[in-house]
Amino acid sequence: MKFTVGEILIIKDNLKKLSTIKDVPAIVGYRLAAALRQFNAPLMDAEKSRNDLIKKYSGPVEDDMLKVLPKNMPKFMTELNELFAEEVEIDLKEVVLPAEIKLPDLGTLVGLDKFITVK
């Protein structure tokens, strides 16, 4: 399945939320954990690229933080959007959540519909 880096950022947080649900069937827990592992490598690469981009367009360190200079913001945003649009191929198995599972919140399944269904 193809995912953009931007989608992966959203998916990772929601997968972490799902992984906290107790009493799921073993296969569901296994597939959620496997999916989370599959997303980690591209996520780490994206985080490194994003941090490098911030360094590239930042001014001097202030209060132990790098901040993108206002004059560099258009270039920064262009490159950041290109990074978020980058597609990554990830091999996942479908995860079927039982309908009776109580989700942590309504937004938990956002971005997960490519490989998670509720039945």
Mean pLDDT for all residues in the chain: 92
pLDDT of the residue at 72: 96
pLDDT tens digits, 16-58: 989 888 889 999 999 999 999 999 999 999 999 999 999 999 9
Beta strands (DSSP E) in 1-119 are 2-4, 87-89, 95-97, 116-118
Beta strands (DSSP E) in 74-119 are 87-89, 95-97, 116-118
pLDDT tens digits, 53-80: 999 999 888 888 899 999 999 999 999 9
Range of the domain at 104: 2-118
Question: Amino acid identity of 86?
Answer: E
pLDDT of the residue at 8: 93
Q: What's the Rg (C-alpha) of the chain?
A: 17
Q: Alpha-carbon distance 64 to 39, whole Å?
A: 30
If one counts the domains in the chain, the total is: 1
pLDDT of the residue at 107: 87
